[in-house]
Structures are given as structure tokens and as C-alpha cells.
Structure 1
Amino acid sequence: MHRVVLLSLLLLMAWLAPPRQADAQVRHCQTADGTRLYTDRQCADLGAREARDPPTGQATGNRLQACARSVPDLAYALDDAIRSGDANRIAGLYDWAGMGSSNANRVLDQLQRIAERPLVDVREARAGDEGGGSGAGPIFGLRVEQVLGDGYTPSRTVFGLRRRLGCWWVHL
């Protein structure tokens, strides 16, 4: 009888308890040579240590802005991240929600290639501006104009936009 009462009490408590979110944590690590990494693994597993100081970013007052609150802010941050040549900084602007490991590795490879190419321009991509003009339609993404390693062959990547939790993110 006591077991039934105890079990009923536990079930009632579980039903009344607020739902909890899964603890998915992105760690900010720094290697011995100063390279910053964002990962879900332990920093020590990558031969790095937990980064204690905040990364370079957009400061508002005396605090670091955690995410892009507007498309122009996102475009500026993407421009800055690509110019740094650091794929991890670009990855910090990417919407990884719901992505599996194999897709994430594919995207990281693409971001690395983007980070390695010289940047010409980052601008808003609007409906009707496929030819490089300034379309009058709504903004649907960010167009990244670069050149390949030979210094003159053009390369274009168009990132899509997602708004989640009050922030703007890019995706491929």
C-alpha cells in the first residue's frame, strides 16, 4: 500500500514540475596559439582551455552584444568574421539548431573555405537583385562576394536568414 501511495505521489510531482530543457552547452575554447573555438565538446579534448575573456565582438556600452538584433548588425558581424579568416567566428553567427553531426561537419567545411577566400563585400540579398543590382524586394539573405585564390575569379555565397529568440542568424 505504501508503495502505491509513494508511486502516486512521485507521478503527481513529475506531472506538476515545470518542463526542463536539455543542457546543450556551447563551449568557448582557446588553443595555445590563441585560436578561438566554439564546440559542444570539452576544451581539453581539443587540446585547448576554456576561454575566460570575452571574444572580440560588437560592444554596446560596457557589455558584449550576444547576438545580431538586426540584419545590418548581422551583415557587419559576418563581414568582420570573414575578414578575420576565422571559420569559428563565422560559425558563431550560424544557426545550428536541429543540425546533425554529419551536416554540421559539411557546413563547417564550407565555412572554412569561405574564411580562406579574400572578401570583396557583404550586402543584403533582396528579391530581384540576382544580377548584382539593388533589388526592391524583401531581404531574403546576405550575399558574400569574394575572389578565389587566384585573386580575380569571383565567388559568391548567399546565406539565408533566420530569426530565432530575438536574434538574426545565417544559414546555407
Structure 2
Amino acid sequence: MRSCSLLAILALICAAAFWPHDARAQRGVHRCEGMDGKPVFTDKRCEDVGAMDALPRAATPTAGNVGGSPLRGGCSRTLSDLVHQITAAIDNRDVNRLASVYQWAGASDEAANRILDRLQVIVDRPLLDIEPIRPAPPPITDDAGNIVDTNEDGYYPQTATLSRPTGLRVMQSLKNGSATASTTFGLRRSYGCFWISL
């Protein structure tokens, strides 16, 4: 009798250990970067709140995770995943990984070699930051359609409109460490995936 109750308690403990947990609670808080460049913290995906992951660092290599590459197939379906792939490629100085997120369609052999040389220069420099590049806000016009303000600062109107990034600016330090270099990648969307271009 006592062994049956002990067995029942043990079965309950095992069932509780394998009981599915709330996926949102497992994900925790995401650190994102908003349209204005300020940090945003949320329990949702960064893309769902009109932001992108704030420079996720690559995982340290393990036996099953060579070079910090996540064990998954496919391509970067979200902008945050693309930023992670770029970050991991630069952190691991892996030009092939950076080339794997490049939009190669239409590039000749000669152009591909030049692009690959440029990507090699990029992965050889330490990464400081990756910033989204957003389209300029539309100018402010009066009722007649005349431009009243070019709206270069994006200050007016006060209601923020969510604009998707059109590019990524990769900020890096040069070898001497005293100066920075900036590379701008264009963003392309193809077959449901994000790709970069120079």
C-alpha cells in the first residue's frame, strides 16, 4: 500500500516535470531597439512592436554549435534573425557566414569576387553596433500641396508612423582602435527571407 502511494507521488512529480510550460514565459524579456534608436523592452517579438533586436551577440562555440551558428535550416525570416547572423559572422570572423545572408542574384563572377573581398574586410574589423536605416519622413505640406517644412528631423507630426528599415548600418572599429568605419547594407526581401546587399 505504501509503495503504491510512493509510486503515485513519483509519477506526479515526473508528469509535472514534463508538463508543457507557457512559451511566452520561457522567452522572457526581449531587448529591442525602437525607431528612434532608444531601447525597448517587451515580452513580444521585436518585430511585433515595430523594433528590431538590439545587437544580439553570437553564442560561444560548442561541440554541436560550431562557430556560434544556430542549428537550423532555412534563411533569416525576421530582421532580428538577419542582424543576429551578421553579428555572429563578424564576431566569428566568418566571411562565409556573412556571404550566406547576401543577395547574390544577378551578380557575375567578377562582381561576386569583388563583393566577397569587401565582405572579408568587414568581418576582419571588430563590431561596435548595427543600426537600422529608415526612410526619411515625408515633407510637411499645406492645403495647396506646397512644402512648408522638409521634415528632415521627423519631428512633426507627433504621431509616429512605423516605417520598416530599408538598410542596416554596421559600425566597426578600425585596427588602430581610434577610428570607426561604417558600412551600409541595403535590405532585400526575397522568398519570405531578408538578405543584405552592398
User: Do both share a fold (TM > 0.5)?
Assistant: yes
User: CA separation in 2, counterparts of 1:137 and 1:157?
Assistant: 21
Q: What amino acid maps onto 1:150 in structure 2?
A: N
Deviation by residue 1:23-47 (Cα, 9 ceiling, x = unmatched): xxxxxxxxxxxxxxxxxxxxxxxxx
Pairwise CA distance, 1:80: 1.0
User: CA separation in 1, counterparts of 2:131 and 2:73?
Assistant: 21
Unaligned runs of 5+ in 2: 1-63, 138-151, 154-161
How high is the sequence identity, in percent, across the aligned residues?
Answer: 40
Match 1:103 to one of 105, 111, 117: 111
Q: What amino acid maps onto 2:171 in structure 1?
A: E
Pairwise CA distance, 1:70: 1.1
Pairwise CA distance, 1:127: 2.5
The higher radius of gyration belongs to 2
Say which SS state the counterpart of residue 139 (structure 1) adopts: coil
User: CA separation in 2, counterparts of 1:65 and 1:153?
Assistant: 37
1:75 matched residue in structure 2: 83
CA contact (8 A) 1:162 1:169 kept: yes
1:57 aligned onto 2:65: no
Q: How does 1:3-82 map to 2 (within 5 A)?
A: 57-59=69-71, 64-82=72-90
Deviation by residue 1:28-85 (Cα, 9 ceiling, x = unmatched): xxxxxxxxxxxxxxxxxxxxxxxxx9965334xxxx1310001111111111111111
CA contact (8 A) 1:75 1:124 kept: no
Match 2:92 to one of 51, 72, 84: 84
2:178 matched residue in structure 1: 152
Q: Normalising by the residue count of structure 2, what TM-score does the alignment of the two structures yield? A: 0.51
Pairwise CA distance, 1:88: 1.0
1:168 matched residue in structure 2: 194
Q: How does 1:109-128 map to 2 (within 5 A)?
A: 109-128=117-136
Say which SS state the counterpart of residue 114 (structure 1) adopts: helix
Normalized per residue, the structure richer in strand is: 1
Q: Normalising by the residue count of structure 1, what TM-score does the alignment of the two structures yield? A: 0.59
Say which SS state the counterpart of residue 176 (structure 2) adopts: coil
Q: What amino acid maps onto 1:140 in structure 2?
A: T
Say how many residue pairs are matched.
Answer: 113
Unaligned runs of 5+ in 1: 1-52
Say which SS state the counterpart of residue 142 (structure 1) adopts: strand
